[in-house]
Amino acid sequence: MTTQKTSTDQTAYSLVYGCEVVIPAEVRVPTSRYSLNNIEANNNLMQDNLVITKELRDAPKIRIVSYQQVVARTYNKNVKIRVFREWDLVLRKVFPNKKEKSGGKLAPTWEGPYLINSIVRQGAYKLQTLEGEMIPRSWNVTHLKLFHV
């Protein structure tokens, strides 16, 4: 409760209530933060905190958005976009439920080659066998890879 989070640079308690928490140990063994305050000064401080609470809550929101942008940039730096054209030869991933049971761990993980018949939309393709037979449904680019002859 009293530890600041890296993403917001605030404690959870201060984001909810607009002030810092006083732990029970500070009430029994007075510290300077606790003993120097009186009720009137505390009430004035609480009124001031109510005025700036919105600003205190907006700062972590801005910090979180900034942090998310940094994380997204770091992640997207390593993403390799694959784009295929019509009539490219590709291999299709073999899903675990379609693998040969007798193959074990040495069973092939890719099957094909297939021809890309048409582009459905970015990242989705219709496939056909080399004999011209259409493969049902469209296939996502994550399940395809280029076949090199």
Q: Does the reported pTM lie above 0.75?
A: no
Q: Which of 26-30, 51-55, 117-121 has the lowest mean pLDDT?
A: 26-30
The predicted-structure confidence for 37-93, as pLDDT tens digits, reads as follows 677 877 887 777 777 777 777 877 888 898 899 999 998 888 777 888 899 999 999
d(CA 13, CA 20): 7
137-142 average pLDDT score: 90
CB-based contact 89:109 (threshold 8 Å): no
CA distance readout (Å), 7 to 10, 56, 64: 8, 14, 6
- Going by C-alpha positions, the residue among 142, 145, 138, 144 that lies closest to residue 124 is 138
d(CA 64, CA 60): 6
d(CA 7, CA 123): 34
Enumerate long-range contacts of 140-143, CB under 8 Å, 24 or more apart: 141/82, 141/83, 141/84, 143/92, 143/93
d(CA 124, CA 82): 11
CB-based contact 46:40 (threshold 8 Å): no
Kindly tell me if the per-residue pLDDT of 33 is higher than 70. no
Q: Which domains does the chain have, with CATH numbers?
A: 12-77 (no CATH), 89-146 (2.30.30)
